[in-house]
Structures are given as C-alpha cells and as structure tokens.
Structure 1
C-alpha cells in the first residue's frame, strides 16, 4: 500500500486533473451558454434563477443583431479551439449542435422583417403578463421591487415590439385582420379592471401583485406599512408605465386595422413569400422537406388514419358513414361536460385520473422518469380564448416550480371528451412534461442542451407519446381511442392545410372545411386552429414530421438490433440527449445501434 501511495504522489498533478477534450468542450459550452443567458433575463427566471431578476428581455432589432454577432464569434472560437476528432460521440453532438444553432440564427435574423410581430398566439402583449404572474416568484421585499422594475420593462418591451410591427406594416407585412382584433381584445383585458378603471373587476397584474405582497406580509418579510408602500409603488407603475404602453398599442392597431386583409392570406402573398415559407418549414421541421413534400405526406397520412378511424366506427356499430360519425362525435351531448364551473372541474378531474393511470405504467417503458411534479390548470382569464389549444409550461430542474398543463375551458363546447385522454398524454406524461423535465434534470450534458427547444423534436415526441400510450394499453374506451386517432389525423391535416394556405393559395374557409371533413373537432376549435396556422406559418407541420422520424428510428433499431432491442433504453436515449434537430437525433440513434453490435 505504501508503494502504491508513493507511486501516486510521483504522478504530476496536471496529469491527474487535466480534463479530456470532451470535458473541456462541455466546460467551454457551459461558459458560452451563461453568456447567452445574459441576453435573456427572462430565461434565467424560467430556469429558477434570480439573476437579472429586475429586467425584461430586449426585443429590439439592435439587440438581435448584437446577439447574432456574439454567436458567430463563439463558432469561430469553437472551431479554432477544439480538435473535433478527439471528441467522444456525445461531445461531437454538442459541437455540431452549437454550430447548427448559430447557422439557424443567421437565417432567423435575415427573415426577421417578414415575421409577424403581434398575433393572438405567442406575442409579448400576453406572454409578458403571463411571465410575471407565473414565473416571477416573490419571497422577499427585493423580489417585489424587482417585479415593479420589470413592470417598467414590460412597457419598454411593448414599445419595442410596436415599433417593429410598425416597420413591418410599412413594408406590407401584417397579420390578418382577425389577429388585430384578437390582440386588441387581449391587450384591453390586461389593463381592464382595478386599478385602471372603476369596474368591479380586478386587472390580472394587479390581482397578482396584491396576492404576492399579501404573501410577503403573511410570511413576516414586510410589515403592514411597508406592504402598503409596495402596493402603492406597483399601482403607480401600472398606471404610469404599463397602461399607457398597452393603450398606445391598442390605438395604433385600431388605426392600422383598415390596412389589413379581411380575407386572410398565407405568407406566400408577401414579397419573397415562397422563400420565406420554405425557411419556416426548414426552421420548424429541422429538415429540408419542400412544401410539396410536406403536403403529399399529409394527404397520405390522412388517408391511412381515416381507414383506422372507420374501423372504430364499425366496432361501435355506428350505421352511417365516416363523415356522419365525425358529426356524431362532434355534436352528441355525451361527449361534452356542461358549460359550468362544475363541468370545467369535472374535465380537470378526469384529466388527472388518466394521468394517474399512465404513471403506473411508465417504469415498464422508461428507465429515466421525471422528478418534477405536474399540475393541471385552467388558463388565466385574461389570455383564455374559446377553442384555443391546450399547452404545457415547463417547471424547473430543482422542482421548485412544477410543470403545468394548461387548458382553455371558457367554452366547454370546444372541449370534446374524446380528446381528453390523448391530450393529457401529449401535454403531460409521457409527452411534454416527461421530455422537458428529463432534459432539465440532466447534469452530464452541456447546459444549453437541457434547455433549448426544437418543435420537430419536442412536438414530435409528444405526438409519438399519444401512440405510445395506446401501445401501453391504457385505452379502454373505443371512443377515446377514436379521439387518439382524431388527434393524429389532426396533425396530419395540419401538414395539408398549413402548406395549402401558405404555399398553394388556399383560403381560410377552404382550410376550415378540409379539417371539418376529416375530423370530429368542434368547429369553434377548428376555426381557432386555422387562424393559429395563418399567423404561425410552418409550426404546425413540426408535430407529424417529428413523430414519424422518432417512430422510424425506433423501427429501424428494432429491425437491426433484434432481441437486443430494449424499448426502455431507446426512450432513454431519445429523451436523454435534450431537444435535438432531427438529423442529429438520427445520427445519435444510428451510433447507438452500431455500438450494440
């Protein structure tokens, strides 16, 4: 033993401690990602940090250009500073992925003037209040002061976005008229109620502020006098900064509304619109598929799934054709809860039941399970819309903030129960919550890989999860299985209508009718969806493209690995690498297959 210790003491410290090229790359990428987060104070908050906690992101063109220059500089340093051949396979994924993101950022900035700035789905007029309400936690007096500073930042950011929208409008880039109308209504809802007017209602931000200050007082962090002073400071900021910014935005939208298209047109109607849409498809599918290829894929998938849906129609003994069965499922009262608070709670309770049901099955199909809790909530009133899509909001790696599955329940007639089980698995487990939480909880990858999101991967996984849930045997109601197929054909329809409107000149009504003809989705939800695709070109195509790639890779691994294939290991591999562009995911799976030999 003494000889061994003596021998170890003779080994130079540098020889013991020197990191490998792969370890050095991870350290370097983590340092660069910290620099990247410096451009995004709100992302830091979403990660559970309280750094730059008093700031809102900079939405100006100058800020976007500065970040791109920084990103291009990191690529040059990456290529000069590391030996690619000395990296292990996981590190090569990280290396290539960092460069992929930089290349995409160049293209993103180039097409920035073509992008709709204000729409009813993702724009900052609703996302900023939502961010403060749901992500800015207040545990100390300073946290509340930071919240008030962020209210000033909301006003500044809203002004920057309005300036971008005005520049776009000057070049003929405007979303359709319906988007203006919805954004106007949503913006008014943010600054309606106390303290902005004398109605009995309370504005959402003011209600949130009162709740958080009351929490401080209850915890003993501030006394009654200081709590009152914080409330008054926040109230003054709402009235002098936030309200003028929102009212200014509404005034501009109302003045420009006459210049919008009453009959919505796809982005191909813009200058260079076809090229812009091709870029959007590349961006959202992370492939080089053309609009025509995407369109034809959609048509073939719709035809295939219709056949499976017709089999269920026969199974339940429905005598009419598939179109009549769609109408039956769309309209029959048994498939809806009442449009009451009790009906809404019943919808939430049934959702929780099905999530509990699948949780017991997960260890049979996954080696890695998420640690973060999952909650089911109704969307806040100020941003809730009849028929709008459910969505997921991720938690934090340490579990201090849960993942949340949000549902729009203002119109229960837009929430068909046959969709309930499948949507729960898409948004919750094994879908978005599992995918996002497992990525966030990885500690052995560069940090950027645990946080970055690509729609083809993320939405593709969630749609794959719907199929996987059926394979796991948790469906015991043929109508709910019909709903699962309805959700899948819904994503296939998206391939057809998105490319139809943005590349083939389809009208809004043509797209609405195609969706009604091929699904049992309520018309309210159909119209909301089609309007979403009109302002968010390309995004809706990512789901089916991603799902089919994940399924294709699974079947390839099964065929090549034979008895050595383990479904748990495959799922851990797909989820364990973070959100990857599909080509990089495919390479990762192929290397796993090769290693098994």
Structure 2
C-alpha cells in the first residue's frame, strides 16, 4: 500500500509562485471558476450513473446510462451550452495558470465530443476485445460493490438496465452496419461465444453456473455472513435476480447473438481498416488526431513508425550479440518465439507463476519509486487473470482503475487462456506499463488529487496515459530493472511493438493494408508470439487510431524531459519533472508541453 503526499507535493511540481504571489482577485477567480467546474461536473455525471460508480459514488446506484443516440445528442448539447457559459462568465486572460488549464481542458472535452459526433455512423460499438456486450457485465460484476441490502436491490435493477442498454446499442450498431460500418468476420466469430458464455449455466441453463450468477450468489452470501440479511431474504434476492436475468438479460443477449450470427456472413472475410468504409478516411483522420492529440497526418505517423522500427532493431542487434546468438536477427526472433524456456506451462500452475512473477516485479518497483516521484498513490494495485467470459487468447493486457478513496485497488489484468501467447521476456516490462509506475500511478494519482476541479481527476487522454505507460517501460532501466538480457530484449520487443503500431495502424486504415499484410510486417520486425501478433493486429482493425497514442505520447514526454535537462542542467530534478507530468491529471500533449515549459521557467528562475 502506498502513502500519498497529497496536494502539497503536487504544488511542488508547479509552484504557486508561478502566479505569484497571487493577487486576491486571482484567488477569488480561481475559487469562483473551480466552483463553477464542480457544479457543471455534477450535472455532467447525472448523464452517467456508470461513471459515478467507477468513482465510488452510489448516487443513482440502481441505474445504467441511457445509451441511445437521443441521449448522446442531449449530452452534447449540454456540453455546448456549458462552453458558452464558461466563455461568457470568465475572462481567461485574468485567470491564474492552473485555472487557465482547467478552462482549456473543459473546452477541449467538448471539441473532442463534437468532432466524434460527426462520425456516429462509422463507429464499431461491438468488438471482440472491449465491446459493450462484455464491458457492461464486467462493470456490474467488478465495480458494483454490495455493502448493504439496498446495494443488491440496485444490482438487480441494473441487470434490467444493462439489458436495455445492450438493446439500445444493438439498434445503433444495426444502423451503422446498414451504413457500411461493420467489424470484420473474425470479430463476430469471437463475439458470438463471448455473448453465449454470459447466458450459459444457472439460471439460464442446467449445467454449471454463469459468471453473473456466481457473482450474484457471492454478493448475497456476503450480506448473510455480515449479518445484514437472513436466509429468507437471501432466497428472495436470489429469486428476484434469477427473474431479472432470465426475463431481461437473457432475451437481450439472445438478440445480440442472433444479430451477430446474421452479420457474420455479411462481414469481410479479408479484414482491413476503416478507410474503405463510407467517409472512412475522414473518420480515421479524426481518430488519429484524437488518439495522438496532434495534427500529424497518417503519412507522417507512418514514417515516424518506420524510423523508430529501424532504430530499435539496432538496439536488438546489440542484445543478440551480447547473449552470443550467432544467427540473424530474424532467426533470433524465431528462437525467442519458439523456445520453451520463454513460456510458462499452459497449466493452472503456469498461470499462477505468471501472476506471481508480475506481482514480484511490481513489488520491486515500489521500493524504487520514492527516489523518483514526490507524489505516490494511496491505492494499491493487484494482478488478476481476465474473467473467463471475456478472455481472449493473446488478448492485450490492461488496467482497471482503483477507486478514488483507495478502497478498491487498481487491477492489472492478464489474458492467460493461452500461455504460449504470454512470453516471459515481456512479463516484466508489461507489469511496469500496466501497474507501476505506469497506468496505476497515472490514474490513481489523478483521482486522489485534491487541488484541481473534479472533472480533471477523471479525464482520459489516450496519448497522455499511453505515452506515459510506454515512457515508464524505458524508465525501468534507470532504476535497475531488466537485469536479465532476455528481459531487456522483452522491453525492446514491446517498444518496437508500439513503433510497429504506427506503421500497421496507418497501413490498415489509411493505406489499405489487409490483416495478413499487417501480420507479415509485424512478424518480420518482432519476436512476439504468433497468436499475440494476430490478436494485436485484429485489435488495431477494430480500434482505429488508438494504438498510435503510445509511441507518439512517449516521444513527446521524452522530448520534454530532454528539453528540461538541457535547459536546467544541475537544477533539473527528476522527482519534480515526474510530478509535473502526473501532478495535475491528464491533458493533451500541447497543454502538457506548456505546463512543462512553465515548470522549467520556475526552476530556472530559482
């Protein structure tokens, strides 16, 4: 468990002396605009009971978001009007620096939403990795805590709410498919069994228990053990939950499955990107801008990727020589991909060994962080296997954020269905990326801040958070990680993987590459396991642009650090730099650069 040092450390990163000493009018304006932001954010959260639950707030605990297009229109109109109010009510020029950042971020959120709304018909709402058919059940089972009897009442109500939301999304997905935007055949082939798994077992079928029913029983039994309900009340809750599941949840999932099955033969057997879809090139340009928070074109991103792949291959050659391998780099890739020493057994013991090793790497990093960070998260982070109903062999490992009060730890999730898709040399670096000092540091610190408006504590900016995750992989070398040269090669494997993403993502969506062409390029330039490569390429196909944020964000953060080191010399402070990056929440890369420049100016002035 970490001990945070709170807002005091955050202010060390960007001292209040920047505005300073602040005139009373600036203090008053800061207080006034922050109160305005918090009031507007409360209004915004009313659109999303799910977001409230992620934040540990039980307001509207029995509700699921309205996911209709009409509701999306209402929210976008609310955002537009809020921006008009902001501009009319506050003069940005007289605000202190921190309030100016909040002002810009509020407008940025609206502009992003407005840009995305123009491409509503291009969106893939269901996919094999992060589709709503698995994400909403995961939310219910992982995030909806049951502490009191009222919470299980809310849980049962949310069963029906999820069924309604899935049907709302299904109607939109049908419109999008009719407009020419449907995921490739491989996605439907994966989604059908995923959806079936969520209505297999009790109370839907006679053999075994479904994941959701196991969760229901566990949470009801918890209330019994706590002495908060008796056996009769527990039975009544089980009956009510079974009724909601069989009468609402099951029909909704049967409708999803029927549509997935009807779409599968219509979908592309030869998968490619969204560029071929109606308005697809413009949609991809918007997604690229959103994912990188830059104005880089697809051609520019593609070239950056090619250059980075070439550079990293040179570093890989050096390690190949260090371990005494005499063949070509491509032969070394094959050796790393196929040799049994680089994999845990495909058994429960092997899976537990993977989780134990990741946990040990995180524990090592915990001992190093105080020397490099002034702000540390209060919430802990744990390693878990992805739930069986949504596990994909070779699927991307990922992070689920902690609760703001630290009572629910962050989770580093690993797909362990196929241990041959989980190479040991990549284990250490991925633990640092997903947990510490990567995503968990990023999200937990932001949520725990007390000196910024609440909306900023929960912002998600792809290039920032993924760029930070990739930066921390490289940072591990600074603290003595990757002692095994094969583990260091694993670090380079994940870095070249992110550089490959720049090439492959733009290749698929802007240059007309097929899945097989993307797999071939990936395989030629990476020792990643074959199933891992296939899963990754399929991820990029259904999530256009998202994978480009990692390397673009990392490159910018590294450039900012080098600038700070060059300008400040002996006055450069690594703890202050890291706290400047993390100490005010997430933001687009241009605003991050402005913040770092301000920190540099303060340090330079002494």
TM bracket, shorter-chain basis:
over 0.9
Q: TM-score scaled by structure 1?
A: 0.96
Task: Note the C-alpha offset of 1:85.
Answer: 1.8
1:185 and 2:201 correspond: no
Which runs of structure 2 are paired with 1:207-222 in the superposition (5 Å)? Answer: 207-222=214-229
Paired residue for 1:510? 517
1:204 and 2:211 correspond: yes
Task: Note the C-alpha offset of 1:219.
Answer: 0.4
Secondary structure in 2 matching 1:360: helix
Secondary structure in 2 matching 1:361: helix
Task: Note the C-alpha offset of 1:363.
Answer: 1.0
Secondary structure in 2 matching 1:222: coil
Structure-2 separation of matches of 1:561 and 1:517: 41
Secondary structure in 1 matching 2:374: coil
Paired residue for 2:110? 102
Paired residue for 2:99? 91
In structure 2, the CA distance between the partners of 1:357 and 1:104, relative to structure 1 (3 Å rule), is same
CA RMSD, Structure 1 to Structure 2 (Å):
1.2
Paired residue for 1:9? none
Between 15-24 and 149-158, the greater mean CA deviation after superposition: 15-24
1:475 and 2:486 correspond: no
Q: Are 2:129 and 2:392, in contact at CA under 8 Å, matched by a contact in 1?
A: no
1:491 and 2:531 correspond: no
Runs of 4+ in 1 over 4 A off after TM superposition: 15-19
Structure-2 separation of matches of 1:242 and 1:459: 34
Secondary structure in 2 matching 1:287: coil
Between 564-573 and 353-362, the greater mean CA deviation after superposition: 353-362
Which runs of structure 2 are paired with 1:74-473 in the superposition (5 Å)? Answer: 74-199=82-207, 201-473=208-480
Task: Note the C-alpha offset of 1:265.
Answer: 2.1
Task: Note the C-alpha offset of 1:16.
Answer: 9.2
Q: Are 2:373 and 2:578, in contact at CA under 8 Å, matched by a contact in 1?
A: yes
Deviations 1:393-419 (A, max 9, x none): 001121111101010111111110000
1:28 and 2:36 correspond: yes
| 5+ residue gaps, structure 2 | 1-22
Report the count of equivalent residues: 582
1:557 and 2:564 correspond: yes
1:72 and 2:80 correspond: yes
Identify which of 521, 525, 529 aligns with 1:522.
529
Secondary structure in 2 matching 1:70: helix
Between 81-90 and 439-448, the greater mean CA deviation after superposition: 81-90
Deviations 1:545-566 (A, max 9, x none): 0011000000001111111110
Secondary structure in 2 matching 1:248: helix
Q: Are 2:26 and 2:94, in contact at CA under 8 Å, matched by a contact in 1?
A: no
Paired residue for 1:54? 62
Structure-2 separation of matches of 1:57 and 1:278: 29
Paired residue for 1:4? none
Structure-1 separation of matches of 2:75 and 2:24: 38
Task: Note the C-alpha offset of 1:17.
Answer: 11
Structure-2 separation of matches of 1:420 and 1:463: 14
Structure-2 separation of matches of 1:375 and 1:51: 27
Deviations 1:429-472 (A, max 9, x none): 10000111111110000111110101100000000000001121
Paired residue for 1:8? none
Task: Note the C-alpha offset of 1:183.
Answer: 1.2
Determine which structure has greater relative contact order: mean sequence separation of CA pairs < 8 Å that are 6+ residues apart, divided by chain length: 2
Q: Are 1:21 and 1:83, in contact at CA under 8 Å, matched by a contact in 2?
A: no
Secondary structure in 1 matching 2:383: strand
Q: Are 2:179 and 2:278, in contact at CA under 8 Å, matched by a contact in 1?
A: no
Paired residue for 2:4? none
Structure-1 separation of matches of 2:338 and 2:26: 67
Paired residue for 1:537? 544
Structure-2 separation of matches of 1:278 and 1:216: 51
Structure-1 separation of matches of 2:265 and 2:415: 30
Structure-1 separation of matches of 2:474 and 2:463: 16
Between 45-54 and 165-174, the greater mean CA deviation after superposition: 165-174
Task: Note the C-alpha offset of 1:26.
Answer: 1.1
Task: Note the C-alpha offset of 1:256.
Answer: 2.3
